Amino acid sequence: MKVDLQDVIEAIEEADDETRAYYLPRTGQIVYDADEEDIEDGIGLPDRRAVNDYHNMELFIETVDDDKTAEWLANAIHGRGAFRMFRATLERFGLTENWYDFLDRQHRILAIEWCEDNGIEYETSYGQVTEEEEDEEDYSYGFSEDYNLDRNAAKQKPVEMPKQVRIAPVTSHNSANIVYMYADCRKELAALKNVRTGQDIELAQQEIDEALAGQEMIFAAVKDGRYAGYMILKPGTDLILKDMYVRPDYRRRGIATAMFVKAQEIAAEEDMRLSVVMKPYIEKMLGFLQKQGWNCLDEVRLVRNDGGNDNSVSLLHSRLEY
């Protein structure tokens, strides 16, 4: 079930200190101030603190090229009545429309990030502004009714965001979103060894829980709110990339590369060497690593074959250094 991104944006914009919005995955609805029983499985939307439009004002000022104008705006947001003074200064320098475009973009970014962090697929559909919406006043920012008129105009022509891959951390809160992917991965790996197996969801959830409990880091690649792939990193002497998978319908779109780049960034931040542990029969993964410039075989681990499987594989054709 997909959520309408505009509904998420509107919930974000309506957030205040007393009202909290929740998304209910079972029904696809966004509810406000519901009873605890009704939101038992609900996911909280960004609250007023997360929206932080005061910080957005600071960010907007950084985009203003004229130093004098930027100085006026910076002075306006200090002291009492900061929002009203900021609005008045915007009008003085003819930047009101620029501000609303910027704010619309910031709220849209926050809405997309919230969807993607929680593995919620979204779609964009923008209806016409109703007469009730046009007449509605909003003083949450200390602005006049012009705020809503300008915002409603912006909603008719929303700022489109670039289609990018987002790498989001997986926790116990949203791990259920990768369970089926994890099970599909294990099924595909078994097929590479000519072993037929079903999709073991229970085992997949168990292994994911164990990885998180063991302080392993799991990340999901998110596209339009859908989890398109995942990777698992295990800290140790090296930072080990022990698992990486991309859904078949998202392959050859740069998903794996985006995750691999993220893994290298994390290794650099932790001052660790990134190494990859992989099964020798996964030729596609080997080819992917070689395209990334990884062609040095650092270690070979042999184990006893007690399963009676007589499959064999050779890495010699890959011209790996050691």
Cα dihedral 100, 104, 106, 111 in deg (nearest 10): 160
Q: What is the pLDDT of residues 205-235, one digit of tens each?
A: 999 999 999 999 999 998 867 889 999 999 9
Block residue for tokens 């995942």 = 230
Say what percent of the chain tops pLDDT 90: 27
CA separation for the pair 106, 13 (Å, rounded): 11
Q: Mind listing the domains of the chain with CATH numbers?
A: 3-156 (no CATH), 166-318 (3.40.630.30)
Structure token pair of residue 110: 């926050």
DSSP label at residue 46: P
Q: Is 130 exposed, middle or buried (0-12, 13-18, 19+ CB in 10 A)?
A: exposed
Q: Considering only CA atoms, which of 267, 251, 252, 259 is closest in space to residue 218?
A: 259
231 pairs with which residues across the strands?
219, 244
What pLDDT does residue 95 have? 92
State the sign of the Cα–Cα–Cα–Cα dihedral 41, 43, 49, 53: negative
Say what percent of the chain tops pLDDT 70: 79
Mean pLDDT of the chain: 79
Higher pLDDT, residue 160 or 84: 84
Structure token pair of residue 56: 């957005």
Q: Is 194 helix (H, G, I), strand (E, B) or coil?
A: coil
Q: Is 230 helix (H, G, I), strand (E, B) or coil?
A: strand
What pLDDT does residue 241 have? 94
Higher pLDDT, residue 80 or 225: 80
* CB-based contact 174:119 (threshold 8 Å): yes
Which residues have CB under 8 Å from 229's CB, separation 6+? 181, 220, 221, 244, 245, 246, 247, 250, 255, 256, 259
Rounded to an integer, the average pLDDT of 101-106 is 88
Measure CA 129 to chain center. 29
How big is the chain, counted in residues?
A: 322
